[in-house]
Structure 1
Amino acid sequence: MEEQYKDIKRLVKEAGTENPSVDFLQKVMSEVKIASADRPIAYQPLISKKAWLVMGILIIGILISSPFLSEGTSILDKVDFSLLNGVKNPFASFKLHDATIYGIIFLATLFMVQITVIKRRIDKIYSI
């Protein structure tokens, strides 16, 4: 196994190490200063305001409507599919159980709390 590496060791010894020029650090730092001064960083959110609005409306709708749903009723029972000529309501037996409703409410609440905490943290990190 050592025989494989003898050639590599010899080649590395022959090549030696390269030393940067004396003013290498100064040249690099001057280029960094020029590059950073050219373009100011513009903040662009990952999720647009319209998307936040749609998500907020959906979450609020779920939070408001979920307590009114119980195991005995279904929202989709009230939908009229008579326009489809003979097609039965595919969601006639769809019901949300109480545990599902409470889970949705709990997860939506945690989601909203996390979003506010993460937004504050990001604002604090990227504030100028």
Structure 2
Amino acid sequence: MNDKANNQIEKLADRLMKESSLESPSMDFTSQVMAKVDALAKSDVTAYRPLISKRVWTIVAIVMIASVVYLMFNGANEESILASVDLSVLSENKLTNAFSGLNFSRTIAYAVGILALMMA
């Protein structure tokens, strides 16, 4: 039964192929396609614009130079702001005391360090 159905379908397909004519493109098909390709190729060219303008770079350079000059002339006479900051709060609190007994092997420390570098 299955072979009969396949033969009938095959005969029908053969008959339809013989009856249909071969389609061919128009005479100017190639020129039409190439005209469309040329139209796509002639897109607007984007001019390069830097993300940070020259004016901003100039302002940054002036601020940096002014900071260096200020620190050269006035930095030695005044007390540093960092000297007045109490950093013992970072080392003497409940959180750091809770984890002070943990010891990690060098392998774990290297693995965590390399992972942090890879994610940065």
Same fold (TM over 0.5): no
**Structure 2 length-normalised TM:** 0.34
Q: Which has the higher contact order (CA 8 A, sep 6+)?
A: 1
**Structure 1 length-normalised TM:** 0.32
